[in-house]
Amino acid sequence: MGHRIKYSSGTKWEPIVGYSRAVRVGNIVHVAGTTATDQQGNLIGIGDARAQTIQVLNNIKRALESVGARLEDVVRTRIYVTDITKWEEIGKVHGEFFRQTLPATTMVEVKNLVNPEMIVEIEAEAVVGHGID
């Protein structure tokens, strides 16, 4: 199976809740629910679903790369949104990042995220070495 490799993005929530941004065991990577914060913990794109989704997916990309994976290895994403009427704007950004990979995905509306100004949170699962070339 392999040993556990963990990546922390340094957000304030990780030590409070007790989780890692990404965990890799063998060739499987799980990326925790990820929001549009920058590396200093500031929310990017307040009021802008597109900007937040771009930041989220770039954060996921960084988390994957930190444990030796790539966006192309992603096999599943889950998208949590606070306003489902923004599905198309958020979905189009997801499509820009995953147009070739086409992971299985789910998008659901949730009442709130940890910060009321957050519009979208995404988690991802990847299988390293089984992406598209």
Q: Which domains are delineated in the chain?
A: 4-127 (3.30.1330.40)
| pTM metric for this prediction | 0.92
Q: Write the DSSP assignment of 13-64 as a string of letters.
A: HHHHHT--SEEEETTEEEEEEE-SB-TTSPBSSTT-HHHHHHHHHHHHHHHH
End-to-end CA distance of the chain: 24
d(CA 45, CA 51): 5
What tens-digit pLDDT sequence spans the chain (133 residues)?
A: 568 888 888 877 788 888 889 999 999 999 999 999 998 889 999 999 999 999 999 999 999 999 999 999 999 999 999 999 999 999 999 999 999 999 999 999 999 999 999 999 999 999 998 655 5
